[in-house]
Amino acid sequence: MKLGIFVNITREKALELARELVAWLDARSIDYVFDPQSAQALGSGKWEEKADLSQHCDAFVSLGGDGTLLLASHYSRSKPVMGINVGDLGFLTEFSPDELWTAMDHLVSGNYSIHRRSQLETTLESGEQLTSLNDVIIEKGSSARRLPTFTILLDNEMLGSYRADGIIIATSTGSTAYSLSAGGPIIAPKSNVFVITPICPHMLTVRPIVISDDKTVKVSVDANPGEFPLKMDGIQKKLLAPGEVVTVRKSPHHVNLVANEKRNYCEILRKKLLWSHEHPTGE
């Protein structure tokens, strides 16, 4: 077995865990490799370019927050990804640092289960295709002189056209990310839906809408002059020209997250969103 390891190099705790993990793997003669940035931060000579990792690795370990796991998922190509939460909120990174070694035992022995998560596939007018686990975001950008108009089509039928700071198309996985902070609903995993969430719309009647994940969404932005950032999982990929059409649909490829059998989704929501009321001692 060969593992690909991604580390949040801005967190000392993640770097410490990575060093401990290296010692654990070396003691068991388990092969591993880092992405270039993680290897440089750790002073390790064992690294490969991100684009080559899925070809040579059997599974991936993410040491950081959800952002680190999202980065690993982009290069996993459906290989299992195990997330160790060294961040703050951590909806996707199900394992705590204290659970790392038990989780590693299960991973290397093959004794684990998988959460299969849908992805979005975004096609640009150039024909380029991009995938994302959480969301596709188009923002107004800084060059627009007025609030742009976002035009949205579902299966080539007009859904709406409204002014806003941006638009988010999110999977059920991404419903607890940027979409949630913009007022979108929480969607349970494995729901066969996406959510379209406007960012600060000009009209109060514009609201998020949940759609079937077999729909094709087309979005264009009308404002001239202007360039509009297209982001995938929070990473800017391109500046869109006025009127340029972006097509978003369900990807045929999935991300396979290693599941923590000790936790369920309801528990994660209760803990992360503080939905559980704890009575003071004696009440």
User: Which residues are catalytically annotated?
Assistant: 66
DSSP 41: H
Q: Please tell me the total number of residues recorded for the chain in this structure.
A: 283
| Long-range pairs, 199-202, Cβ under 8 A, ≥24 | 199/137, 199/139, 199/164, 199/165, 199/166, 199/167, 199/168, 200/164, 200/165, 200/166, 201/162, 201/163, 201/164, 201/165, 202/147, 202/162, 202/163, 202/164
Alpha-carbon distance 147 to 201, whole Å? 9
Alpha-carbon distance 41 to 7, whole Å? 9
Q: Write out the DSSP string of 49-105.
A: -HHHHHHH-SEEEEEESHHHHHHHHHHHTT-EEEEEE-SSS-SS--B-GGGHHHHHH
Other CB atoms within 10 Å distance of the CB of residue 97: 15
Q: Which amino acid is at 200?
A: C
Nearest to 168 by CA among 209, 203, 114, 119: 209
Q: How open is the CA angle 110-91-261, to the nearest 5 degrees?
A: 35
**In the beta sheet, which residues pair with residue 233?**
none
Half-sphere exposure of 152 (CA within 13 A, CB side): 25
Decide: 7 and 18 in contact? Cβ < 8 Å.
yes
